[in-house]
Amino acid sequence: MDKSQLQLAGLSVAILAVNGFEQAEMTDPRKALDEAGAKTTLISMNHGQVQGFHHDQPADKFDVQMTLEEAEPKDFDAVLLPGGVMNADQIRMSSHAQKFVQAMDREGKPVAVICHGSWLLVSAGLAQGRKLTSWPSLQDDLRNAGAQWVDDQVVVDRNWVSSRKPADIPAFNRELLKLIASRAQAHA
């Protein structure tokens, strides 16, 4: 599928993040989605702003457009889960975030996850029987949750696309756009 086929106009992508997310894992995929015509919505626990990080150093702040309580999975075509240890550790405990990803997965909508973001999928009870990659330190968590963990740059498993780290973002973005475009074409 070439870039001309990856027009995502009219599609809406939820981005779930709280303070401490790995900034590049949100901003780079968001830019790719926006450039392809998708509408992205940054969703967090509270209104205001969320703090991005470059590894363990504070980076930029971003305006939250909707809270997890307000967000309705039916209003979105896909969800992006950036990593960052602090972000992933906090958001995985949110029942609203868990219910959101459960609903997205139940509908077969694309779930894009990178680095530590897969902790939310574990806590939501979705990892069983799935194949994915993540930051290497999560491999035991994922395997213990019944997932098949692999150390690959990017993994596509049905409606999921996963990557390990910021260096994988170009491959992640390519597969993310293809996955969303192919699902949109199948439901057109």
Domain boundaries, the chain: 3-186
Please identify every residue annotated as catalytic: 115-116
Q: Is the pLDDT higher at 184 or at 34? A: 34
Cα 5 to its chain centre, rounded Å, is 22
For residue 3, pLDDT over 60 is answered with no
Partners of residue 15 on adjacent β-strands: 42, 80
Percent of residues, the chain, with pLDDT higher than 90: 93
| Average of per-residue pLDDT across 83-104 | 97
Neighbouring C-alpha atoms within 13 Å toward the C-beta of 68: 20
Closest alpha carbon to 119 in 87, 95, 96, 148: 87
Fold that domain 3-186 belongs to in CATH? Rossmann fold (3.40.50)
Percent of residues, the chain, with pLDDT higher than 70: 96
